[in-house]
Amino acid sequence: MFHKIEDWDRAYSNASHIHRSDRWPEAWVAPAAAFRDALSAQGRAKLNQPYGEGARQRFDLFLPEGTPRGLFVFVHGGYWHTLDNSYWSHLAAGPLAHGYAVAMPGYTLCPEVRITDIGREIATAIDAAAARIDGPVVLAGHSAGGHLVARVAAQGSALSEATRDRLKLVIPISGLSDLRPFLRLKMNESLRLDPEETLRESPALLHPPEGLRLLCWVGGSERAEFLRQNRLLASVWTGLGAEVAVWEEPDKHHFDICDALADPGHQIHGVYAGA
């Protein structure tokens, strides 16, 4: 009846849990590049827009046909220390089809900076993109990106009040809401988390803003820790007054859960674009 995690590194290792996991991240490269090329040819892709002086402090902005209804921001994962925003460009197809402009920010990776610094960068990137696009703002992020959008949405972040007032929905996808377990992982040699930072940067230990709507979305076939982390943020923020939904999508794992964003017909888009 009792359960205790003995191997923390394995608990957060997604590749070892997924059949043919060696396909990723390469499986995303070609469709992302083709999408950027197509949108650039139409004059609807504004690539590598600076929001700071750092080499990775850039965002790609994809524009719908006609005047945008609002702004959809997608923040990539990679456990805060790998990958970049170029792998996921094609996921903008769904929000674009529903009239939303899509911003995909990059950010400086650990160990060059700390997770606290990345959160500040993402807040600055969102503010910069929001300054260009009117209307409601939807934040989504995958894995470490799910942590970052929840952290940015929480009270006390560097996000401007003007942008915060425009938040319509926050969607952590396989998000990491409590960073304290990472103190036990070998990965922390790169992340350099300390106990104080885990308390300060864990969304599940922070307060949501008034009026926030939160959708915690995770694949039903994901590792137990990702299912727990997903439910944890939903449970805590429900108790703090947020309007919350939890969705464990059947038959999805950590690497294919995001594919729905590229499909304009997927039900996820009705959550923010249907009203």
pLDDT digits (tens, 9 = 90+) for 22-52: 776 778 899 999 999 999 999 999 999 999 9
pLDDT at residue 22, rounded to an integer: 73
| Cβ atoms 104, 49 nearer than 8 A | no
pLDDT at residue 26, rounded to an integer: 76
Q: Within 13 A of 6's CA, how many CA atoms are on the CB side?
A: 2
| Cβ atoms 126, 140 nearer than 8 A | no
pLDDT at residue 30, rounded to an integer: 93
pLDDT at residue 69, rounded to an integer: 97
Q: For the chain, which residues score pLDDT lower than 70?
A: 15, 18-21, 24, 275
| Cβ atoms 84, 98 nearer than 8 A | no
pLDDT at residue 202, rounded to an integer: 98
C-alpha Rg value of the chain to the nearest Å: 17
| Cβ atoms 106, 89 nearer than 8 A | no
| Cβ atoms 172, 233 nearer than 8 A | yes
pLDDT at residue 136, rounded to an integer: 97
pLDDT at residue 27, rounded to an integer: 81
pLDDT at residue 230, rounded to an integer: 97
pTM higher than 0.75: yes
The angle subtended at Cα 231 by Cα 227 and Cα 235, nearest 5°, is 170
Identity of the residue numbered 166: R
pLDDT at residue 274, rounded to an integer: 78
pLDDT at residue 115, rounded to an integer: 98
Nearest Cα to Cα of residue 252 among 232, 273, 230? 230
